[in-house]
Structure 1
Amino acid sequence: MKLESLRVELRPRSPWEAVELGTALVRRNARAIWIPWLLVTVPVFAVANVAALAAGRLWIAWLAMWWLKPVFDRIPLFVLSRAVFGETPGTRQTLAAQRGWGWRAMRGHLLWRRFSLVRALVLPVDLLEGADGARLRERRRVLGDAVRGHGILLTLVCLLFVVALSLSMLSLSLMFVPTEFLSESLRATWSLLFVQPPPWAQVALHAVAWIATSVIEPFYIGAGFGLYLNRRTRIEAWDVEIALRRLRARLASATGAMLLAACALLVLPPPSQAAMQRDRGVQDAGVPRQARVDASAGDDGGQDSLADVFGDALVEDPAFEASVEQAYRDPLLRPKRKQSHWRARDSKRAQPPQALPFPWLAKAVAFIGEFGLWLLLAGLLAVLAATARRWLPWLRGGLSRREVPTPVELADAPLPDVLPEDIAAAVRRLWNEGRRRRALALLYRASVEAMAARAAVTLVPGATESECLRASRRMPDPQDRDAFARVVRVWQYAAYARRMPAQGEFDGLVDTLAQRFGWAS
């Protein structure tokens, strides 16, 4: 990428400044964008509406033109991505590029990402970077997550502009209707376009909507392209890279002069001390003493004026003074701005016009403004009443008294400190009596003590199952480790999930542990 050929000033901007940059690029390259746009979209619009009229389903034409907008959006993006580097493509070049450029990314934008609200932000990533798979998803996340909210707001704002422009074009004809016939004309227009519209009226309404879309859509894509440029400038420091490249170019151009100066210093002999003193004497003789004193005083003070630095000839030069004033007027040097505006002398509020063209609309707006909150409250109460069957039982259950916890059963009582001599027999007796959880607790505790003795470790009081498993790794025999892991797993299922082992599994576990740990059978 040739960053040094960029035709825009790259610097970190706020997201809305980046949006303004994108729209400015669209205005600058309007001819290169809208001519290919019209040459592509107008034939597609005509074919879609003719086919929909033949099928008797005009809504198909609306759906087709809306669904194909990502395909049409490639036109402004192609022009802007080249124009920003000073290579604005011509109409023929733009049309030729649409045959093969960016079709691989269109599959996602026409299917699962068609309803995305950040299409203008994601489309440059998909079409301009050439990444694929996981790399493409990562680029979308890095570039888009920080400004995703701005991208959604941009989509909503552009949609409102399309609606406003469409309504403005529909209302344009009513400006030429006399006031006394306005109400009848409004009723006739509403009936013609929305109640029982003939086919030609439906096509005309579709044409109005698509004209508004054609005006706003390039600005939408341009604003997303501006956000994309700003994100890459912030992340990849393009502005710093451009400055370093320009510095390298200046240093490269000055390399020859520096080499010649170095060669001259090496070849020419150094001046003698006598010549240096003679030249200094000549210079001192040509300057009055008072001038030398003033110059030295200025050097000591460190507050030289422009006259001391540049001399009277430069200071009195009008061109030089104009250059200095222009430099001080630079907003980067003095970021100050003076604004003035007109304000009426009479502070009273202006009276509204006596006659309004749409009095019913003014009354409706006033009614909503006055009673809107009450209507909203009434609607909320209606929703609560309609859904009372769902939330009222839950509310009653939350306010009910909590049940008193059941006392601890004898089976869950703590085990004695001293284990029985015949552990296997004691465990089987508890199991046969129906106290299965207590039997497994006794089996687990005896296994822990046997493991601690075999592994020569000291467990802290209240050691968890995972700590006991880690300690069991010190047992030298792997079969002992497997048997201990088995009894821990059975105990966890019984203690936390209340899943007791089957009779055969229990008998096999007791036999294995009695054999491995030397318990009496």
Structure 2
Amino acid sequence: MRIDQLDVALRARSGWEAMELGSALVRRHARAVWGSWLLASAPLFVLFNALAWWLDGFAWAWLAMWWCKPLFERAPLYVLSRGIFGEQVGARAALAAQRQWGGTGFWGYLGWRRFSALRSVCLPVNLLEGNAPAQRGPRRRAVVAGAGGSAMALTVICMVFELVLVLGAIASVFLFIPLELLPDSWRAAWAMVSVETPPWAKLALNLLCWLGGALIGPFYVGAGFGLYLNRRTQMEAWDVEIALRRLRERLLPAASTLALLLCLALPLAPAHAQDASEAERAADEAWQGVQDQEAADRAAGGEDDSANAANDPANTAAGIFGDEPVDTAGFRQAVNRAYEDPLQRPVRQVSEWKRIEDVADTKKEEKALDKDSKPEDVSGKRRSAQQWIARLAEWGLWAALGVLVLVLLLTARLWWPWLRGTGRRRRKDAPQVQEETVEVPVVLPPDVATQAGLLWDQGRPRQALALLYRASVRTLMERTGIALPPGATEAQCLRASRRMPEAADRDLFARIVRMWQYAAYGGRLPARDEFDALATTLRQQFGWKA
């Protein structure tokens, strides 16, 4: 495989990331993928449903389309397998390539392997690798070993998505039915389906199933192909091989220069090698002399070996290295730093929990040991005592549970109605709502703003705002020529105010409507200054008499 020509970034991914990679490949080659799926499945859909209409067996048509799904997945897989190398394959070219591509090892997925939940990962193994029949089984098991769980989850998720699409399409039909006709429509639809489903309804259901499979199927193929690529990357280290090949391509132009430098450095190598060999020979002779001297000292000194070795001038730095000056202080510092390195002497702290034995048990054990009793007998007695304590604790817990159940049964009349939500609760007397009747005269006075100010002074601000609002509605009807019905709401009035020619009039009308709504429904009255300013603006802009 030409992995150096891959058009995707390969690295070790998790199962979900690998499926997202496959989905991204499907979106990149969307036209060819979905086009090949539709071109492959549409003729069979027409053929199966035509036979089903003739034989009255639409269920068999749906089952046949579902069984042939692996046949539709071949062309999208061919497009994706060429697309990762940057090759653009059309839908018709993908279908034409099916005649001589991937024939061996495929027909089992239209037979005994049709119910396999691992088809999304195993199908690329058979179609893309071209292994011998004896090698396909071990190869599939090796690929599935690290992607089996993700492949099964992918199968379940795609099945759920197809089911949701079909049911959502059926339910969307009832969105266009008015609410008052919805119960009758539900009953009529259920009677039609339960008694005798007409052929057109069965054909429509098969069409929805085919469209749902055509929408989700390419994503199923692409996600499985992403899992397959991820497993190949993990098993064969494709990402490492690609990195090494790119490194080779970068270093290849400088290979001639490196070879020339190596040729120039070869004549100097024997001199350095001779110097190194002479230095090594001198060191070996010095070390052999030291060992011979130590052996002679041990033979002559006997018990005073350690003292003689410590006081022997031959063991000093001058005796070992000769007259050449040696930095022993720096050597000792280097040795100390080497010993302080945590990598050379790793230290870790381990905490371990141990049971604290009872003091009385310890004393009994000591007395038993004093009486020449065996340790096995003491440990057996202690183990039996622990078992009795554990048994008593268990009995105590069961007794506490029994008491709790008994208390719950005795008090059931108190908490059972509350638990069921039917407990009687004392109803608190709701506070009386004081409503103020807003009386607006049928015939509006000529000086509306002045009369509204007098109502405010009398302590009737809601009536004052209602009078301003009523007068504003009258002005609205005069300037737009619209006859509002009796009891028109504020929303209707605002919609009618959009036909007022002046923008300032529309804004002022919206202002009085907003202030009236705050006062009437929210209990938020404006300040007196704000009310006077609004009344003055209304009188001037709407032309009310003073």
Using structure 2 for the length normalisation, give the TM-score: 0.47
Larger radius of gyration: 2
Using structure 1 for the length normalisation, give the TM-score: 0.49
